[in-house]
Structure 1
Amino acid sequence: MTTTVVEMKNITKKFGKFTANDDISLTLKKGEILALLGENGAGKSTLMGMLSGLLEPTAGQIFIDNKKVIMNSPRDAKALGIGMVHQHFMLIPAFSVLENIILGDEPNKKGRIDYKKAAQDIERLADKYHLQIDINAKVADITVGMQQRVEIMKALYRNAHVFIFDEPTAALTPQEIGELMKIFRALTDEGNSIIFITHKLKEIKDVAHRCVVIRAGKIIDTVDVDNTAEETMAEMMVGRKIDNSIEKAEITESKLMLEVENVSVEKAGHTAVKNLSLNVKSGEIVGIAGVDGNGQSELIDALTGLRKVKTGSVKINGVDMTNSPTRKITEAHVGYIPEDRQNVGLILPLSIAENLTLKSYYKKPFSKYGFLNHKIINQNGRDLIKAFDIRSQSEKEKVGSLSGGNQQKVIVAREIASNPDILIAANPTRGVDVGAIEYIHEKINEQRNQKKGVLLISFELDEILKLSDRVLVMHAGEIVGEIDPKNTSAEELGLMMAGKKVTNIQK
């Protein structure tokens, strides 16, 4: 008989008049990987917030190892063996990996932190679960995938046997995702149990045993993953069929919108972008594919005024904008969907309406004589919330309280509503559900069909191949090839990203 390690019975959570979770019941078995699938704002993170001690249920009961429990804080959850790895990591960048892992649970010897014992304990766990990490490295200097491992190690160090992962692959490269799936299997092979929130149906099919589908705060069904098609789960999640087709208008005339010539960019004393050239014309989407860390972020920073170009030039609509301030670049009709929505794209304590006017608050009609017109700002917020299906209580809600996917929609709404001539989109669908992906893809393609230029940077190979008219492959800070997405598979593109040559390269 399979042991039940977690049972949530008739859980309801209300925030004022808003019901985030409505009479939800689920179970998690020992050694099981349970997927939690739902649209952005469906209530998944709220539900797991109660299981991790961050929130208290309005109604319902939680049982751990068949015992009813009441958790008033994350410390209570940790004491019960529950560890949560949040979508946005809870790490201190200036601390070392070791310091982050033991923070709050430091071993002591004669009144001092016993770093030697901590290192031995961490290395033992790393060997057991095949989690290779550098315990002496600063968190600020390691990759996102490695930070994910540090978060997992934090939970293991505190003797967790139930792991909750909130959108664990949203910021990972395909290679890192594969490694994480191996870690999932290693954890459950040792008798641990996992609940993971995700929008990626392929990952559910890859590792999950069962899938709980939530829509609008209610459970739609719990299905056996092996016997349920991806399309079925997607339809259950959004309540309709998903249309992944893209209609591309035929563009007969075009002009150069973005010209990047022999650009080099430095980062921390080394050259991250090397003598790179590319162009984007009106009426086309140019995709940049590459493994994370090959200069994409530095290139985007240089194009948007966030980092200096060391050599070379950047022209927008024929005008030299090399090393221009960010505001001057945006006023040249450049839209930018950043890869880091929380640190670059949004100001979390501000309202949705205020975030939607971050690029235009100083202009009419949003301000006059230096004074903001909050009535018009809020009306603009209501209009864009409706137009872009941003799931929220009102335009005055703090953007930091939204789900990650709805935060992404706020950025997409703001940038596309600014009617840019050139749209730079970096991982535009990171952490959003399949319904929102469909919508964002439509909006990006609309820019192309309206004879705008789009530069798309994405780690999602299917997204690159689906949307792009041309694909440039970036490796070690350079463009190493150009491919025709209509005649190239994700596997061939993956090989090029790894630095290998394929025959389908355009000259």
Structure 2
Amino acid sequence: MNASPTASPTAATDAIQVRGVGKRFPGVIANHDVDITIRSGTVHALIGENGAGKSTLMKILYGVQKPDDGTLVVGGEEVSFGSPTDAIAHGIGMVFQHFMLADNLTVLENVVLGAEKIHGIGDAARRRIVEISTAYGFDLDPDELVEDLGVGERQRVEILKVLYRGAKIIILDEPTAVLVPQEVDALFGNLRELKAEGHTILFISHKLDEVLAIADDITVMRRGTTVGEAHPGEVTKRELAELMVGSELPTPEKTASTVTDEVQLEIEGLTLTDAFGRDLLSGIDLTIHKGEVLGIAGVEGNGQAELVETVMGMRKPTAGVIRVGGEDISDWDTRERREAGIGYIPEDRHRHGLLLDAPLWENRILGFQSREPASNGFLINRSGAREDTQRIVEEYDVRTPGIDTNSRALSGGNQQKLIVGREMSGNPVLVLAAHPTRGVDVGAQAAIWGHIKKAREEGLAVLLISADLDELIGLSDRIEVILRGRLVGEFDPQTVTPQDLGSAMTGGADEPADDQTQEDRA
């Protein structure tokens, strides 16, 4: 790993060589002594816990940031990128975890946006898009609106975008985070086609079984540097986890039931219609008891986000009743619901969970502006908020230089642990947890699972939304599947498989009759 870039006789066959790369920010060493060799025409996996330095390294490879130390060699040429445009010019493309697509534009319009000079915006662009889509089995219609596409199809649009710009090296950041098992299989088929055509894939993931299934080579990062390399077939998930975090791979194992007879959340006939008269939610009936975790499984875009936001008071339903602890809260605003003890772990922590340029102690106050310890009811209690933030940092293992650090400086996993700690504070009666472990490493994942289990044992009711089907099965007492805004089936976590859920989520399984579905839920 420490060989000179010019010393290797196989240097010409390497897509990327990273040698001694370092990057520092005020008070933080993000990368130091990073060494990676990525062979051309392979899938190279990069794994590591949050804060290990993966994101910083990716930004360096894509030209978003410049390294303070070390060298980058791309295709045998030493390079220095000043922007993503430079990286694209050297054949590097990146597909980010959060898709960067305009829903109101077509596939063609999204692909050519910002790349109009390549093939224009007309027939030549259309022919090239069809050509790429056909060559790699993407099956995309250039004229289809992105808002009408499923998550797997949107991801293929993102990959098509970088191929359209001439990328031979494609960086994929957590590409399976929002996919069901069937979509993961389809993606891996696409990646194998790309590899067969000579493309190089840098695959970043926390899902070690998937890494072992698709990667040719694996590099492990810890605390800002590379600590090991491995090859599938020669290493187990447990060994990879120990390299990553120094401990065994956690699993969300089922514990004894803590479900009580007392209903905490009750929803009857909940319907939500958009401005065009389309039902986003239709006739939702569900109950959650104290001490129960109800999991909601669904392909993104089928109404689970709208369900959570409606219960939270962020959207006003067209019809239906919401009760918490037997009290009708349908007309309450978000602040009243927060004060009644509803916690909210949002699916997008940056948009709805944090003020990125505010210190941690100020982020502790969000949603608690009228409650102790953040407030005395009239004024913000600065000392109380700071003291409780320090408690959260210690109890939830939020790794930070201090509570005056801006939340933007924290890794994604530590940001998430701060949010979970905040939302579990103040004795909540109901927590709406939307993708609580998305994009976090196995260490942070285990910690968050532990906090949810502990709160459940203490009588908390949890509505859990997750794209991680193993997480849903491991944490939930019951699982409901949502499809096109309707609850279409209930499953027992003790017997259901991820494949069963994936089939139901995509409409591949027979939907129960309405009366049977309601009877099962009663």
Scaled by the length of structure 1, the TM-score of the pair is 0.91
SS at 1:366's partner residue? coil
Mark the CA change 1:73 to 1:466 in structure 2 (over 3 Å): closer, same or farther: same
Aligned residues of 2:322 and 2:328 also touching (Cα < 8 A):
yes
Aligned residues of 2:268 and 2:286 also touching (Cα < 8 A):
yes
Mark the CA change 1:375 to 1:93 in structure 2 (over 3 Å): closer, same or farther: farther
Q: Distance in 2 between matches of 1:454 and 1:363?
A: 21
Counterpart residue number, 1:3 = 13
Query: Of 497, 505, 509, which aligns to 1:500?
Result: 509
Matched, 1:220 2:227: yes
Counterpart residue number, 1:242 = 249
Mark the CA change 1:238 to 1:141 in structure 2 (over 3 Å): closer, same or farther: same
Mark the CA change 1:31 to 1:85 in structure 2 (over 3 Å): closer, same or farther: same
Counterpart residue number, 1:38 = 48
Matched, 1:456 2:464: yes
> 1:165: Cα distance to partner?
1.4
Matched, 1:277 2:285: yes
Matches within 5 A, 1:29-178: 29-93=39-103, 95-107=105-117, 113-139=120-146, 142-178=149-185
Aligned residues of 1:280 and 1:454 also touching (Cα < 8 A):
yes
> 1:230: Cα distance to partner?
0.9
Of 290-299 and 44-53, the range deviating more from structure 2: 290-299
Of 487-496 and 17-26, the range deviating more from structure 2: 487-496
Q: Distance in 1 between matches of 2:278 and 2:343?
A: 28
Mark the CA change 1:126 to 1:250 in structure 2 (over 3 Å): closer, same or farther: closer
Mark the CA change 1:53 to 1:303 in structure 2 (over 3 Å): closer, same or farther: same
Matched, 1:413 2:410: no
SS at 2:494's partner residue? helix
Of 414-423 and 374-383, the range deviating more from structure 2: 374-383
Matches within 5 A, 1:279-358: 279-358=287-366
Aligned residues of 1:248 and 1:449 also touching (Cα < 8 A):
no
Give structure 2 stretches of 5+ with no counterpart: 1-9
Counterpart residue number, 2:483 = 475
Give structure 1 stretches of 5+ with no counterpart: none
Q: Aligned pairs, how many? A: 504
Q: Distance in 2 between matches of 1:86 and 1:491?
A: 26
SS at 2:271's partner residue? strand
SS at 2:209's partner residue? helix
Mark the CA change 1:329 to 1:134 in structure 2 (over 3 Å): closer, same or farther: farther
Q: Distance in 1 between matches of 2:484 and 2:355?
A: 32
Q: Distance in 2 between matches of 1:489 and 1:114?
A: 45
Deviation track 1:264-296 (CA, whole Å, cap 9, x = no partner) reads 222342223222211111111122223333332
Of 327-336 and 239-248, the range deviating more from structure 2: 239-248
Q: Distance in 1 between matches of 2:153 and 2:71?
A: 36
Deviation track 1:429-480 (CA, whole Å, cap 9, x = no partner) reads 1111111111111111111100111122222221121111222233343333
Of 281-290 and 445-454, the range deviating more from structure 2: 281-290
> 1:249: Cα distance to partner?
4.9
Mark the CA change 1:309 to 1:404 in structure 2 (over 3 Å): closer, same or farther: same
> 1:499: Cα distance to partner?
5.2
Deviation track 1:375-405 (CA, whole Å, cap 9, x = no partner) reads 4433433332222222333333332343333
SS at 1:107's partner residue? helix
Counterpart residue number, 2:398 = 390
Mark the CA change 1:138 to 1:499 in structure 2 (over 3 Å): closer, same or farther: closer
> 1:247: Cα distance to partner?
6.5
Matched residues, percent identical? 39
Aligned-residue RMSD, C-alpha: 2.6
Q: Distance in 2 between matches of 1:222 and 1:14?
A: 24
Query: Of 427, 434, 451, which aligns to 2:435?
Result: 427
Q: Distance in 2 between matches of 1:155 and 1:499?
A: 31
Scaled by the length of structure 2, the TM-score of the pair is 0.89
Aligned residues of 1:254 and 1:451 also touching (Cα < 8 A):
no
Mark the CA change 1:40 to 1:485 in structure 2 (over 3 Å): closer, same or farther: same
Q: Distance in 2 between matches of 1:186 and 1:418?
A: 51
**Which AA in structure 1 matches 2:219?**
V
> 1:151: Cα distance to partner?
2.2
Query: Of 26, 29, 32, which aligns to 1:16?
Result: 26
Of 182-191 and 250-259, the range deviating more from structure 2: 250-259
> 1:416: Cα distance to partner?
1.1
